[in-house]
Chain A
Amino acid sequence: MTDDAHGYQDSRTTRTRWSVFEPMGQEEVYDDVPEGDGNDSGVGGSGADDTPLDPLLVAVAGELRRPVELGPELDGRVMALVAAEPRPERDVSFAARPGAAGRLAARHGPTSAVARAWRWLSRPRLVQLSPLGGLAFASGLAALLLVALRSGTDTVQATSAPAAAASPVAAAAPVADSVQVIQFVLVAPDARTVALVGDFNDWQADATPMRAAASGRVWSVQVPLSAGRHRYAFVVDDERWVPDPSAPRAPGDDFGTPNSVVTVTERRS
Chain B
Amino acid sequence: MPRVGKSLFRQHPTACDAPRAQGVNLSVELSDAVLVQQVLDGDTGAYALLVGRYRERYSRFAVHMLGAEEDAEEALQDTFVRAYRALGRCEDPERFGAWLYRILVNRCRTHGSRRGRRERTFVHDPVAIGNASEDHPAERGAWREEIEHALNRLDGRQREAFLLKHVEELNYDEMAELTGVGVSALKMRVKRACERLREMLREVEHV
Residues of A in contact with B (beta carbons under 8 Å apart)? 1-3, 5-9, 11-12, 15-16, 18-21, 23-24, 27-28, 30, 32, 34-36, 40-41, 43-50, 53-54, 56-57, 59-61, 63-71, 73-85, 87-91, 93, 95-96, 177, 179-192, 208-218, 220-224, 234, 236-237, 240, 242, 244-247, 262, 264-265, 267
Report yes or no: B2 in contact with A23, Cβ–Cβ below 8 A. Answer: no
Contacts of B43 in A (CB 8 A): 183, 222
CA–CA, A116 and B32, complex, Å:
32
Inter-subunit contact B177/A53 (CB<8 Å): no
Asked if B69 and A35 make an inter-chain contact with CB atoms under 8 angstroms apart, the answer reads no
B99 contacts across to A, CB distance below 8 A: 16, 21, 23
Q: Which residue of B lies closest to A19 (CB)?
A: B180
Do A7 and B185 touch (CB < 8 A)? no
Cβ-neighbour of B15 out of A2, A6, A83, A267 (below 8 A): A267
| Interface pair A67/B60, CB less than 8 Å apart | yes
Question: Chain A nearest CB: distance from B11 CB in Å?
Answer: 6
Cβ A211 vs Cβ B26 within 8 A: yes
Which 3 residue pairs of A and B lie closest in terms of their CB atoms, listed nearest first?
A: A7-B97, A44-B184, A220-B45
**Bound form: Cα–Cα A54–B197 in Å:** 11
Q: Report the separation of the CA atoms of residues A213 and B51 in the bound assembly, to the nearest whole angstrom.
A: 8
Among candidates B21, B51, B77, B197, residue contacting A60 with C-beta atoms closer than 8 Å: B197
How many Å lie between the Cα of A81 and that of B8 in the bound state?
10
22 CB-based A-B contacts, threshold 8 Å = A16-B91, A24-B106, A28-B106, A43-B184, A43-B188, A53-B166, A59-B134, A64-B151, A79-B8, A79-B48, A84-B8, A85-B81, A91-B88, A96-B91, A181-B11, A188-B4, A191-B2, A220-B44, A221-B22, A240-B4, A245-B4, A264-B11
Q: Among A11, A47, A60, A212, point to the contact of B26 (Cβ < 8 A).
A: A212
Taking a contact as CB atoms under 8 Å apart, the answer to whether A82 and B184 are in contact is no
Q: Knowing A16-B177, A44-B188, A214-B53, say if A245 contacts B7 (CB, 8 Å).
A: yes
Taking CB atoms, residues of chain B closer than 8 Å to A46 are 187
Asked if residues B51 and A79 are in contact (CB atoms below 8 Å), the reply is: yes
- Hey, which chain B residues are within 8 Å of A35, CB to CB? 155, 157-158, 185, 188-189, 192
CA A56 to CA B97, docked complex, whole Å: 31
**Within 8 Å of chain A (Cβ to Cβ): is B125?**
no
Is B185 in contact with A44, judged by CB distance below 8 angstroms?
yes
Complex Cα distance, B43 from A85, in Å, reads 13
Partner of A185, one of B8, B81, B192, B197: B8
On chain B, the residues within 8 Å of A96 by CB distance are 91
Inter-chain CA distance A43–B45, complex, in Å, is 47
Residue total for B at the interface (Cβ-Cβ under 8 A): 117
- Report whether B89 and A60 are in contact in the complex, using a CB–CB cutoff of 8 Å: no
> B interface vs A, CB < 8 Å?
1-15, 17-22, 24, 26, 32, 39-40, 42-45, 47-49, 51-57, 59-60, 62-64, 69, 72-73, 76-77, 80-92, 94-103, 106, 109-110, 113, 134, 143-144, 147, 150-151, 155, 157-158, 163, 165-171, 173-174, 177-178, 180-192, 194, 197-198, 201-202, 205
B12 with A90: CB separation less than 8 A: no
Given contacts A85-B85, A88-B85, 6 further A-B contacts (CB under 8 A): A23-B106, A48-B187, A73-B5, A74-B76, A83-B10, A83-B44
Of all chain B residues, the one with the shortest Cβ separation from A236 is B2
Question: Among the interface residues B5, B32, B55, B94, which one has the most CB atoms of the partner chain A within 10 A?
Answer: B5
CB distance from A113 to the nearest CB of B (A): 24
Shortest Cβ gap from A53 to chain B (Å): 7
Least Cβ–Cβ distance between B153 and chain A, in angstroms: 13
With A181-B12, A222-B43 as contacts: A36 and B52 at CB distance below 8 Å = no
Selected contact of B84 from candidates A61, A88, A214, A247, CB within 8 Å:
A88
Q: With A28-B113, A30-B109, A71-B69 given, is the CB distance from A180 to B12 under 8 Å?
A: yes
Please, which residues of chain B bring their CB within 8 A of the CB of A32?
180-182, 185
- Contact between B81 and A78, CB atoms less than 8 A apart: yes
Judge whether B15 and A179 touch: CB under 8 Å.
yes
Known A-B contacts A77-B77, A88-B88; A41 and B147 likewise in contact (beta carbons under 8 Å): no
Which chain A residue lies CB-closest to B18? A224
Among A89, A186, A218, A245, max chain B CB count under 10 A is at A218
Measured between alpha carbons, how far is A102 from B171 in the docked complex, in Å? 32
Residues of chain B within 8 A (CB-CB) of A88 are 39-40, 84-88
Q: Which residues of B contact A40 (CB under 8 A)?
A: 184-185, 187-188
